[in-house]
Structure 1
Amino acid sequence: MASDPSGDPVPNPHATEAEVEAARSDPKLANVLYHDWEADTYDEKWSISYDERCIDYAVGRFRAVAGDAEWPYQKAMELGSGTGFFLLNLMQGGVIKQGSVTDLSPGMVQVALRNAAQLGLDVDGRVADAERIPYDDDTFDLVVGHAVLHHIPDVPAAFREVLRVLKPGGRFVFAGEPTRIGDRYARKLGQLTWWLTTNVTKLPPLAAWRRPQSELDESSRAAALEAIVDLHTFDPAELERVVRDAGATDVRAVTEELAAALFGWPVRTFEAAVPQEKLTLGWRLFAYKAWLRLSWLDEKVLSRIAPRQVFYNVLVTGTKP
């Protein structure tokens, strides 16, 4: 694999057929290929931004599980950073002063560093395996991650590494992980929405709403790779036990998004199945405001009466002794 002057591998956004075939039995290679391929369009696909909307979302997720008594953290690392969504928005929200991004995908590290530079944030980055983090013991005050744990083959090993690179008393916060039950209904809703949208738009009156077949085929291939890179779902209580067994203290897991997930997954799938120019500002505002209202319902009402394991997202925090 080629590498850049820093010694890190360079992105490979156009994998060969042989590499894709090899990735079917190698989840780490699958993660690299899939996320290198996604890197330049990832923020657009998931409506990621670095403005007030996503700053509020990131800080809200952090506060939901960890509170804010220890802010700001001087030095933080994001594990499996992707394009830097969680770390960079936490920095803009005043939670973190200085950051490092790490990801198994060279393409994602490249985009995260580019985003940080555009925002004027103090961030460095490394291509890194979560099970062998390339930083010294006791380096960081905080380690964060968003939607990363379910991609890591050996989650207990990753938590041992997280605790190793944290300073004594340092905290970790991971958010955006799928629960076992939530993943089941989200996938079913996504599959049904994809089937309905791609078939209904075959009708002549709706032809303008159908994405070109080449793009649909590409999305289908991405979905196939996604099935390989998504390795785990989590029961909140079991996740707490895994984290404690790795050596963490003050461990706490919380869940969120039930009504919001039942609405959000069909919306995201529909958006992936139609031409992007059809998704007007009015549509995006409708989807975002509806998600906010349903998130309020989840937090204020459903969280008090529904078991935590039926919500879609689990968040977990803890500290190093």
Structure 2
Amino acid sequence: MTASPNDPAPRPHATADEVEAARQDTKLAQVLYHDWEAETYDDKWSISYDERCIDYARGRFDAAAGEQDLPYERALELGCGTGFFLLNLMQSGVAAKGSVTDLSPGMVKVALRNAENLGLDVDGRVADAETIPYEDDTFDLVVGHAVLHHIPDVEQSMREVLRVLKPGGRFVFAGEPSTIGDFYARWLGRATWETTTRITRLPALASWRRPQEELDESSRAAALEAVVDIHTFDPSELEHIAKAAGAVDVHAETEEFAAAFLGWPVRTFEAAVPPEKLGWNWAKFAFGGWKALTWLDETVLKHVVPRSFFYNVMITGTKPAN
């Protein structure tokens, strides 16, 4: 459970000058932003490695890939972040052995630490998704969650995914923003942030306001986030990219329409107020509300709302067999 000895060290705090330089260099922005977020990322996004997130990760995998002959022997997570997707999939029995890669050294460090704490057989490397540092025909499965929209050349990355997959191997990517979904999610996030930070300036609500230095830090991180989020996807367009890269049996699914209208304000509000103000009742409301609206999406809205209106895009496909 080690990273390559040649991997660079994390850079957890970006200066204002570095942020300005990163506006012109998306890969530098990826490193700075994700190193910045690495140690707090799981808390920010309510990520865990227990039944709740195991079920969530496995649900996304099954929704995209359908019934599979499990476990896959060796799986790679591209743009692993803290390891949320692969580590929870491994705990659910999807893969026996794993590898994680990310452009951010900080994220690889946290992902490997999480894997070690869970007792999972995982190695990791700091790597560019457009030049994956593994040999041809290495993996049985490649997965990723909320990663493709960060990659400048998605088709080149998909070619690399197919190169490192064994013939007949599968890829599953989930959590990608749809073009329409990204529009309303960002609007909701901005409106929630502005409202919350303005209201908490009132003396009576001062205890609900994060310290100014934390808000400033969040604002600088948000400035980088606008640089690192490069793409949004129409499901059909993403299918076309995967096929152009050489994949077969390609299919995209979407999810979260009503659930996104709750989820984005909730996440933004949580980022704007001190975490100690939000207790068990808040967590119960947020998770329970998301589950209820997800049920509405799956049982009713997916049958009447076009798939391109849902927020999350998932895609799967395979490498042609020899």
TM-score range, shorter chain: over 0.9
Who is 1:56 aligned against? 55
Who is 2:107 aligned against? 108
**Native 8 Å contact 2:19 2:220 kept in 1:** no
Tell which deviates more after alignment, 303-312 or 197-206: 197-206
Per-residue deviation, residues 86-107 of structure 1 (Å, max 9, x unmatched): 0000000011110000000000
Who is 1:93 aligned against? 92
The Cα shift of 1:286 comes to 1.0
**Native 8 Å contact 2:4 2:125 kept in 1:** no
- Partner amino acid, structure 2, of 1:86: F
Local SS of the residue matching 1:102: strand
Structure 1 Cα separation of the partners of residues 273 and 4 of structure 2: 40
- Partner amino acid, structure 2, of 1:199: R
Long gaps (5+) in structure 2: none
- Partner amino acid, structure 1, of 2:168: G
Who is 2:139 aligned against? 140
After TM superposition, the score normalised by the length of structure 2 is: 0.97
Per-residue deviation, residues 55-85 of structure 1 (Å, max 9, x unmatched): 0000000000101322110100000000000
Who is 1:220 aligned against? 219
Who is 1:256 aligned against? 255
- Partner amino acid, structure 1, of 2:267: R
Local SS of the residue matching 2:300: helix
Long gaps (5+) in structure 1: none
| Runs of 4 or more consecutive aligned structure 1 residues displaced over 4 Å after TM superposition | none
Who is 2:199 aligned against? 200
- Partner amino acid, structure 2, of 1:211: R
Residue pairs, 1:1-321, within 5 angstroms: 6-321=5-320
- Partner amino acid, structure 2, of 1:213: Q
The Cα shift of 1:5 comes to 7.0
The Cα shift of 1:21 comes to 2.3
Structure 1 Cα separation of the partners of residues 225 and 13 of structure 2: 16
Local SS of the residue matching 2:188: helix
Question: Alignment RMSD, CA only?
Answer: 1.0
After TM superposition, the score normalised by the length of structure 1 is: 0.98
- Partner amino acid, structure 1, of 2:228: V
Per-residue deviation, residues 284-305 of structure 1 (Å, max 9, x unmatched): 1110011011001101110000
Structure 2 Cα separation of the partners of residues 107 and 256 of structure 1: 30
- Partner amino acid, structure 1, of 2:112: L
Identity of aligned residues (%): 73
Structure 2 Cα separation of the partners of residues 285 and 141 of structure 1: 38
The number of residue pairs the alignment matches comes to 318
Structure 1 Cα separation of the partners of residues 276 and 19 of structure 2: 30
Per-residue deviation, residues 32-55 of structure 1 (Å, max 9, x unmatched): 010011100000110000000000
